[in-house]
């Protein structure tokens, strides 16, 4: 007698495979979110966009039930879910994007200087630190003081507003030549002159420009960081300057670490400490 073929019972736990795959992807997502919690914002945006596309959401993707506006995750069949792909920007690519932004800002300021006839008294440069706007003291300040010449105020404000288009820290640096200040005058040393001039610009920008105060600092170097020889009148004139430096974002951690918040029951004060 032919033995009757035993019929295999239907596997009722097949859903566990799809469920396990989904849970694994979800765990990977939260691990990545945690590890990227302190990453550069532009990198994080790239990650979020790439993850949304990989999961079937985002612009042009499918939107699953219950998903809100913006980036959504849509799933038709967990077994058909594509493998995650996260094309992040490299540090070199981020540096190039920032360099392009600084160059565009410099070109915009140069056009403004040409229109105002200031190309000979305001110079621009891009170096390792970032973009610098170098102001000659005779153009910017009254002789021997930190008072900004009234006719130059609106031009400085316009330059600051152009710089505000780049979301970087800005450091205002005062410099002098090595000629000692006159005895009995308003300032006791070149240190005080350079610091007072840098502070005057910061105060103007806080009052009148779009530069955020929390992104600015003022510092005076006196005669100790010359860019030319102090042995000639021409060299000394070059050394008497104020530089507005848009600092590259690679130095953000150093700038942010300069700020210490001191709190007590009556007052909360932010103190800017600059080496």
pLDDT digit string (tens) for 126-146? 999 999 999 999 999 988 899
Q: If residue 156 lies in a helix (H) or strand (E), which one and from where to where?
A: helix 153-163
Reported confidence tier of residue 203, pLDDT bands at 50, 70, 90: very high
| pLDDT for the residue numbered 143 | 81
| pLDDT for the residue numbered 68 | 40
| pLDDT for the residue numbered 14 | 67
More confident call, 128 vs 3: 128
* Burial classification of residue 228, based on how many CB atoms lie within 10 Å of its CB (0-12 exposed, 13-18 middle, 19 or more buried): middle
Q: Where are the domains of the chain?
A: 15-89, 92-272
Contact 207, 156 (CB under 8 A): no
Q: In the CATH scheme, what is the code of domain 92-272?
A: 3.30.1330.60
Q: CB under 8 Å to 205, separation ≥6 — which residues?
A: 156, 157, 160, 172, 211, 216
Task: Copy the structure tokens of residue 29.
Answer: 């997502």
Distance CA 216, CA 115 (A): 27
pLDDT at 270 over 70: no
Q: What percent of the chain has pLDDT over 90?
A: 53
The SS3 assignment for 250 reads: helix
Return the beta strands (E) in 102-225 as ranges. Answer: 122-126, 130-136, 170-175, 216-220
Reported confidence tier of residue 72, pLDDT bands at 50, 70, 90: very low
Query: Among 25-39, 127-141, 184-198, which stretch is predicted with the lowest mean pLDDT?
Result: 25-39
pLDDT at 79 over 80: no
- Residues 226-268 have pLDDT tens digits of 999 999 999 999 999 999 999 999 998 888 765 443 334 334 3
pLDDT at 274 over 50: no
pLDDT at 12 over 70: no
| pLDDT for the residue numbered 32 | 72
Average pLDDT, the chain: 78
| pLDDT for the residue numbered 8 | 59
């Amino acid at each position: 007698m032919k033995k009757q073929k035993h019929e295999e019972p239907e596997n009722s736990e097949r859903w566990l495979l799809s469920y396990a795959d989904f849970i694994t992807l979800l765990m990977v997502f939260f691990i990545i979110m945690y590890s990227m919690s302190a990453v550069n914002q532009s990198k994080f945006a790239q990650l979020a966009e790439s993850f949304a596309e990989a999961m079937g959401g985002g612009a042009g993707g499918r939107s699953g039930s219950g998903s809100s506006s913006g980036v959504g995750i849509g799933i038709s069949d967990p077994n058909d879910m594509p493998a995650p792909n996260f094309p992040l920007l490299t540090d070199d690519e981020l540096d190039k994007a920032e360099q392009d932004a600084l160059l565009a800002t410099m070109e915009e300021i140069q056009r403004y200087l040409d229109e105002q006839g200031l190309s000979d008294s305001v110079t621009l440069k891009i170096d390792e630190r970032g973009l610098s706007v170098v102001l000659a003291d005779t153009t910017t300040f009254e002789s021997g003081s930190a008072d900004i010449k009234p006719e130059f105020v609106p031009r400085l404000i316009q330059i600051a507003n152009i710089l505000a288009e780049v979301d970087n820290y800005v450091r205002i640096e005062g410099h002098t030549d090595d000629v000692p200040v006159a005895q009995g005058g308003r300032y006791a040393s070149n240190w005080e002159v350079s610091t007072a001039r840098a502070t005057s610009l910061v105060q103007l920008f806080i009052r009148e420009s779009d530069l955020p105060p929390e992104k600015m600092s003022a510092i005076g170097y006196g005669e100790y960081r010359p860019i030319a020889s102090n042995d000639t009148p021409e060299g000394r004139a070059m050394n008497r300057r104020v530089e507005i430096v848009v600092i590259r974002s690679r130095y953000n951690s150093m700038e942010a670490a300069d700020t210490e918040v001191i709190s007590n029951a009556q007052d909360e004060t932010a103190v800017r400490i600059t080496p």
